[in-house]
Amino acid sequence: TSLEETSLPLFFGWFVCHPFQENLRSIAVNFLKTLVSLEAFRKNITDFKEDAEKDIDLKEHFHDKGMLHCTTKFCEYGKADGAKEYAENQAVKESYGCVSQLTLSALFVTPRTLGATVTLTEEQLQLWPANAEEEGVSQGSSAHITLSYAEGVDPLQTGPDLLELVRLQQQGQEGETVQDSELGLLTYFGKGMWVLGLREPFLATACFSSFYG
Ligand code: 2AM
């Protein structure tokens, strides 16, 4: 019915509960601080800024992001393919408003985006729509929380950035391990792409819901 159709949100997703948002933001800030302090990062600084001599303020480069969340389905108020089917999916209806724990297994940064990789549980995968972008990689491997974007970057860039990294790793590219710290293993994949695999995954409580904007 038209009433139901007009009720479709901009997107569905897991919304990180308030206290965890703060933790996640400080983890991100610390990650950037660590990165800029590294010789290996400074050596490749032109990945980020062509005219950078040797310094870049990553906190300036990346703008703060509002409400932290992991998008499951971008519906665009019903205009996106499969939006209605997704909203009517039984698992989606049953999980709506439910709280679960998101497992954040890595942080990644590219010249465009700063994000956290989310490793979905079997149950959470029930809420993950089949999507063409994930062709050739496992379902849910583009699940992420956008922590920040650089100026002028499309708000949908984090998924493609993460997928590029997932594909590189799948092709057997190991990258260059730059630092092995208490936090985890920091690896450089070229073209300004850095991944910090967290030794201890960060668990963030999140509520499955939708956003209208
Ligand atoms: P994100 O999930 O990578 O952060 C509102 O714009 C939210 O929907 C953002 O969180 C954004 O990216 C996501 N989004 C925007 N456009 C999208 C698209 N075309 N496909 C998938 N997700 C999109």
Summarised one tens digit per residue, pLDDT across range 13-38 is: 999 999 999 999 999 999 999 999 99
22 Cα–ligand 1 center, Å: 21
**What's the pLDDT at 74?**
97
Known catalytic residue at 61: no
The atom number, within ligand 1, closest to the CA of 145 reads 4
What pLDDT, on the 0 to 100 scale, is given for residue 173?
94
pLDDT band at 58 (very low <50, low <70, confident <90, very high): confident
C-alpha to C-alpha distance for 144 and 34, rounded to whole angstroms? 21
- Residues 85, 78: Cα–Cα separation, whole Å: 10
Cα 138 to ligand 1 centroid, rounded to whole Å: 20
| pLDDT tens column, 131-162 | 999 999 999 999 999 999 999 999 899 999 99
63 catalytic? Reply is no
Cβ count within 10 A of residue 5 = 12
Q: What is this structure's pTM?
A: 0.95
